[in-house]
A and B are shown apart, each in its own frame.
Chain A
Amino acid sequence: MQIGRTGRAESTRVHPSFPEKTRIRMTADSDHTPLDLSKISVILATDCGSTTTKAIMIERTPEGFRQTYRGEAPTTVEEPFADVTVGVVNSVSEIAELSGRRLVADDGTIIRRSSPDDPDGCDIYISTSSAGGGLQMMVAGVVKQMTAESAKRAALGAGAIVMDTIAANDKRRPHEQIQRIRELRPDMVLVSGGTDGGNTTQVVQLAELIAPAKPRPRFGGEFRLPIIYAGNKDARPAVEAVFDGPGFDLSVVENLRPTMEQENLGPARDRIHDVFLEHVMAHAPGYDKLMTWTDAPIMPTPGAVGDILQTIARRQGINAVGVDIGGATTDVFSVFEEKFNRTVSANLGMSYSISNVCAEAGMDRILQWVHLDMDERELRNRVKNKMIRPTTIPQTLEALVFEQAVAREALRLAYQQHKEFATTLKGVQQQRTVGDVFSQQTSGQSLVDNMTLDLLVASGGVLSHAPRMAQTALLLIDAFEPEGFTSLAKDSIFMMPHLGVLAGVHEQASLEVFERDCLIVLGTCVAAKGEGKIGKPCFKYSISGDLSEQGTMAVGELRRFDLGPGATARVEIQPERGFDCGAGPGKAISREVRGGTVGLVLDARGRPLMLPEETSERRACLSRWIEAMDLYPA
C-alpha cells in the first residue's frame, strides 16, 4: 500500500509558520478508507541508517503510548546483500524475539494485526532512511545570499545533504561552475531565482548552465535527473524549454522566494520529498520493496528529526536546539521563535571526519580541553587511525578524554556554522527610523539566541554513549555555551527519526513516547552571560523545593547539585553587575527548573567561555570542573 502525499504550501516565513503536517491518509485496504487512529495500538518503526538499521516497537499501554522493544542490525544496501529489507527484517526479528510477537511473515514481509486481540503483527509500520548517504542534492539560485540561500534552506529542511550551491555571484567563473556540476552526481537539482514578476534573464542563464553540464545521477544511465524549478514564475516557459530533453525530469513548483520579504519553502520541500521517494528511494537497492511495506512515505532521517523537534517546540512553546553528531557529519536543528532551521556540517564528525575536525579547529584548540599531558605527534596518529578505522572505541580514560575534547570542537564548529546560516532573510529592504539607523540593525541577523534557548537535545554516539551522563551534559554546555536557564536532554537510543515520521501519522503517540521514553533528561544548566575576573563574585543563588541550597558562585566556577529525574526546584539568581542570567545584566531572576540524571548545573565560567591561556593554570581549571561534575573516574 503506497499512499500518496498531498503537501500543503507552507505559510510565509514572516508569520508563525510551522509546516502544517498534512495528515497522511492511510488505508487499511484498497477501498482507501482512512484508518481509525484510536484503533492503533502497536506501531513498528525503523530507521535505515548508513551503518545500522534500528527498529522500535511502540505500544498503547494504560499510561499511554510507550516504546517497549528495540532491535538493530547492520544496514544491507551494499553488497553482498544489496537489499535494504534484509537489514529491516533482521532488526525487526530482534524485536520479535524479545517481545514474543511474530512480526515477519514467512514471505519476509511485515505482518499486520487482523484484530485487536491478534498476538502477532503490528497496526502500522513506518520508516526513515539515510542509507547510501541519504539524499544528496545540488541547489542553484541567482544570488548566493538570497535565493540560493533560500533554496539551500528548502533542501536542508527536506533532509538533504547539499553537495554544492551554485549562484551567479558565487565568485566562480561559468566554466568552473559547469565543471563542478559535471563532477557531482546529485540525486536531484533544485533551481531557484528571481522574485515573481521580476527579471527572468538570470534564472534562465542559470538553467542554461546546468543543462549542458549534464549532471549525471548516482543510479545509472537510464535514470532521468530530477530538476525542481522553484523560481520566478514568469521564467517557467523558458526554463521548461531548457530542460526539455531525455535526460531530465523537470517539475515546477511555486517560487520559494516570491518576494524578497517572503520565503515559501513548503512546495519545494514537499516536491523534494516526493521526488526522493519516486526517484532516489525507488532506485536504491530494496527500497522499491520497502516502500510497499510502509504505511506512510519513507522520510529522509534528518527530515524526520527536524519534524519532531518542530512539533515539540510548537506544542511546548519553547525554543529548542537538537544536535546529531555522527561519524561523518553533524546535523544541527533549531527552532527559535517558531522558525526552523537545519544545517549539515558535512565534514565534522567523530570517525570518518575526525581528521577534518582537527584540521579545522587546530590541535591547539582541541588540546586546551585536555587536562592531561599528551604528545601532539602521537595524538595526530591516533586521530588518523580513528579516521581509517572508524568503528573503534576508546578503551583507556586518556583516549576518552581526548575524544571528548575533539567532540567539543566538532560541536562548537557545527553550531557556529548553524548560527551563520540560521538568519533572518537577507536582501530585505527595511523601513528605517532614526533609531534603527543608530542600532545598525541589518537583515541577515542570526536567529540563534542562546539566552532564549529552552531545550538542548543531544544525539549521536559520542554524546549518547558517553560512559557518564555528566560527560554528555558538560560536552553540550562547553560546545553550545547556553545562557540563562536551559534544559539539557539526550535522545536515549536515537529514536527521534522514528518519532518524526510517526508525528505525521499519529502526533499524540509520537509526543507521548518522546516525553516518556525518547528523552533522557539530564537536568538544567543555569549560566551567566558576561565576563569577569576569575575568583570575583558572579552571582548569588538560592534554591528551594526538592533541593535546598544557597551560596555565591565565583567567576570561573562550575557547580553541580543532585536534583533527580522528576524532581523540581525553584532557583533564584541575583547576578553581579555585568552578568545576565536571563532578566538582563545585574537583574534578579527566579525560575522553576527540572532535575535529571545529572541534576542542576550552575555555570559561572562566563560567556563567551574563555579558558586560561597558560597551560598549568588551564589544566588546574579543567581539573576543578572535572571534579565538580564528577566527570571521570578518579
Chain B
Amino acid sequence: MAKAYTPGLKVTPRIAFRSRRLLPIAGKVLVAKGDRVTGDQIVAETFMEGDVTPFNVASKLACTPAEVPTLLSKKEGERVEQDEVIGQSKGIFGFFKSECRAPVAGTLETVSATTGQVLIRGEPIPVRVKAYIDGVVGEVIENEGCVVEADSALVQGIFGIGGETAGPLAMACKDPAEELHEDLITAEHKGRIVVGGARVTVAALRRAKEVGAAAVVSGGIDDSDLKELLGYDLGVAITGSEQIGLTVVITEGFGDIAMATRTFELLAGKRGSNASVNGATQIRAGVMRPEIVVPLADGDGVVASKASEGVLEIGSLVRIIRDPHFGVIGEVAALPAEPAVLGSGSKSRVLEVKLADGEQVTVPRANVELIEG
C-alpha cells in the first residue's frame, strides 16, 4: 500500500546541508574535494557560446544566395568586428558596389549558399557558479561543478522572490507576531538578512532596499503589497530571477500571519551569524522552496531535531494552511477514519487539531502541513 504523502517544510537547527553547484554546460571546476570554501567564492566557470545573429547577405548585396560565398571577404571560422566590411557586390562594371557590414562582433559561423544567410556567433558569455554557503567541497562533479556541504541550521520558507544572497542575520522584530513595518528597518541593516515577525509591509521592503539590506525574511505579506513591490501581478509561482535589488522570503503565507515560534527562535538564536538565502520558489513539477541556511561553526554541538517521516499521527505538530484558522499551529488530537461533511458540502477526511488556547477544531487533512525537523 502506498504511503500517503504529506508535504512539510524544514525548520531545523542542524542538518547535513548539501548544495549542488553546477554549471549549465560543461566547464572547469576550480576547487577540489576537501577544499574549504566561502559562500561568494567561485567554484566553477565556463563560457557559453555567444548569441547567434543571423542576417541575409544576399538581400544586402542584391545577389543570389549561391553567389554569397564568393562575395564574402571572410570565411567560416574567421573573426569579424562589428561594422567590419565582410562582403561586397560586383557592382555595375566595377562601379556602384554595395557593401555588407557585420552587425555584431564575433565569429563567422556558417554561410548558406541555399538561403544567402550568414550566422555570426557573438563573444562567449562567461558563466560562473559560486559556492553559495560557507562549507567544504564534499564532491567534485567533473566538468560540471561540485557539492558544497556544511552542517547548518535550515529554515525553508513557503514563498520567495529574488535569487541567492548572503549576509549576517539581524532581528528587526522582538516577537514573531510583530508586524515588520518600515520604522523597524535602519541603516544598520545594510548587507544584512533582516528577520521580521508577522506581515511585512511594502513600505518596510522599500526601506530595506534603500538601506541596502541583502534580504528580508518574515511571516507573511499581502499579495497587494507584493504586486506593488514587483510592479506586476505574479502569475505562475516560479520565482528567483526577479531583479528588484532584494530577496524576500515569506515563511508562512499571504496575509497577516505570525512567523512560527520555532522558526523565529531558531533565527534569533543565530543573530549575527552569516546566512545564505535563496528566494527562488517553484511550486509546479519539482517543488523548490526558498531557504535560509546558516552553516554551523566547527564544534557547534547543537543536536539535530528528531526527523519526521512525513506521516500524520497523534501528537504531530501541524500548521493549518487554509482559511478558517489560516496560519494557526496546533497538535493533532484525533484522526477520524470516516470522511466528514464540511461547511462547503464536500466530504473529506479530516483531523482534529488542538490549538494553543485549548480549542479543538476540525480541519480537512488536505489543509494541514507537518512542521518537520
Which residues of A does B touch, CB under 8 Å?
50, 73-74, 78, 87, 90-91, 93-94, 132-133, 174-175, 178-179, 200-201, 204-205, 208-209, 212-214, 238, 328, 347, 352-353, 355-356, 358-359, 377-378, 380-397, 399-400, 465, 467-468, 632-633
Q: A347-B236, A380-B254, A395-B364 are in contact. List 14 more A-B contacts (CB 8 A).
A: A174-B53, A200-B114, A208-B119, A328-B284, A347-B235, A352-B237, A359-B233, A385-B253, A389-B253, A389-B321, A392-B366, A393-B346, A396-B324, A633-B345
Q: Which residue of B lies closest to A392 (CB)?
A: B322
Q: Which residues of B contact A328 (CB under 8 A)?
A: 236, 284
Contact sample, A vs B, 11 pairs, CB 8 Å cutoff: A73-B2, A74-B2, A200-B114, A205-B54, A208-B115, A359-B235, A377-B222, A378-B255, A388-B159, A389-B253, A632-B345
List chain B residues, Cβ under 8 A from A214. 49
Closest Cβ–Cβ distance, residue B353 to chain A (whole Å)? 12
Closest chain B residue to A328, Cβ basis = B284
B231-253 at interface with A (beta carbon < 8 Å): 233-237, 253
Quick check: A467 and B54 within 8 Å, CB to CB? no
B345 touching A388, Cβ below 8 Å: no
Nearest chain B CB to A357 CB, angstrom units: 9
Give the residues in chain B near A93, CB-CB below 8 Å: 1-2
Q: In this assembly, does B95 line the interface, its C-beta being within 8 Å of a C-beta of chain A?
A: no
Contact A179 B51 (CB under 8 A): yes
Cα A382 to Cα B324 with chains together (Å): 11
Chain B residues 1-58 with CB under 8 Å of chain A are 1-2, 5, 7, 49, 51-55
Contact with A along B99-112 (1 / 0, CB 8 A): 00000000001101
A392–B363 Cα distance when bound, in Å, is: 11
In this complex, the member of B52, B121, B158, B366 whose beta carbon has the largest number of chain A beta carbons within 10 angstroms is: B52
Within 8 Å CB of B53, what residues of A? Answer: 174-175
B344 and A388 contacting across the interface, CB-CB below 8 Å: no
Closest to B286 in A: A78
Residues of B within 8 A of A238 (CB): 114
Binding site for A on B (CB under 8 A): 1-2, 5, 7, 49, 51-55, 65, 109-110, 112, 114-115, 117, 119, 121, 158-159, 222-224, 226, 233-237, 253-255, 281, 283-286, 321-324, 326, 342-348, 363-364, 366-367, 369
Asked if B115 contacts A396 (CB within 8 A), the reply is no
* With known contacts A377-B224, A384-B223, A174–B54 Cβ distance under 8 A: yes
> Within 8 Å CB of B255, what residues of A?
378, 381, 385
Also in contact, A380 and B223, with CB within 8 A (given A356-B236, A385-B322, A388-B159): yes
A132-B285 contact, Cβ under 8 Å, with A393-B348, A633-B345: yes
In whole angstroms, what is the CA distance A601 to B5 when docked? 41
Which residues of A have CB within 8 Å of B326?
385
Q: Is A388 in contact with B343, judged by CB distance below 8 angstroms?
A: no
- Return chain A residues, CB-CB under 8 Å to B254: 380-382, 384-385, 388
Known: A208-B115, A385-B255. A355 touches B236 (CB 8 A): yes
Q: Which residues of B contact A209 (CB under 8 A)?
A: 54
Contact of A395 with B343 at beta-carbon distance under 8 Å, contacts A179-B51, A201-B114, A377-B222 already known: yes
Inter-chain contact B237/A355, CB cutoff 8 Å: yes
Is A467's CB under 8 angstroms from B345's CB? yes
B119 touches A385 (CB 8 A): no
Residues of B within 8 A of A356 (CB): 235-236
**Contact of A399 with B323 at beta-carbon distance under 8 Å, contacts A205-B115, A467-B345 already known:** yes
Whether A396 pairs with B364 at a CB distance below 8 angstroms is no
Q: Which 5 A-B pairs have the closest CB atoms?
A: A467-B345, A90-B2, A400-B344, A356-B235, A381-B254
Instruction: Give A73 to B1 CA distance when docked, in angstroms.
Output: 8
Do A178 and B51 touch (CB < 8 A)?
Answer: yes
Q: By the criterion CB–CB under 8 Å, are B344 and A396 in contact?
A: yes
Give A214's nearest chain B residue, CB to CB.
Answer: B49
**Once the chains are docked, how many angstroms separate the CA of A74 from the CA of B53?**
46
Assuming the contacts A179-B51, A208-B54, A352-B237, asked whether A385 and B345 have C-beta atoms less than 8 A apart, the reply is no
Question: How far does the Cβ of B144 sit from chain A's closest Cβ, in whole Å?
Answer: 10
Q: What B residues does A73 contact at CB under 8 A?
A: 2
Given contacts A205-B117, A392-B321, contact A353 B236 (CB under 8 A): yes
Verify B283–A387 contact, CB threshold 8 A. Answer: yes
Q: Which residues of B contact A400 (CB under 8 A)?
A: 344-346
A90 partner residues in chain B, CB cutoff 8 A: 1-2
Contacts known (A201-B114, A385-B255, A388-B253); A50 close to B344, Cβ less than 8 A: no
Whether A383 and B285, one on each chain, are in contact in the complex, defined by CB atoms closer than 8 angstroms, is no
Q: Report the minimum CB–CB distance from A230 to chain B (whole Å).
A: 19
In the bound complex, what is the Cα–Cα distance between A377 and B54 (angstroms)? Answer: 48
Which residue of chain B is the closest to A362 with respect to CB atoms?
A: B233
Residues on the B chain within 8 Å of A396, using CB = 323-324, 342-344
Query: How near does chain A come to B341, taking the closest CB pair, in angstroms?
Result: 8
With contact pairs A201-B114, A212-B119 given, residues A385 and B236 touching in the complex (Cβ less than 8 Å): no
Query: Cβ of B344 and Cβ of A467 under 8 Å apart?
Result: yes
Q: How far is the CA of A393 from the CA of B253 in the complex (A)?
A: 16
Identify which of A74, A201, A381, A465 contacts B222 (C-beta below 8 A): A381
Min CB–CB distance A56 → chain B (angstroms): 17
Contact A397-B283, Cβ < 8 Å, known A175-B52, A383-B223:
no
Task: Determine whether the beta carbon of A178 is less than 8 Å from that of B366.
Answer: no
Given A380-B224, A389-B322, A391-B366, A87 and B2 contact (CB-CB distance below 8 Å):
yes
Q: Verify B54–A393 contact, CB threshold 8 A.
A: no
Q: Which residue of B lies closest to A351 (CB)?
A: B283
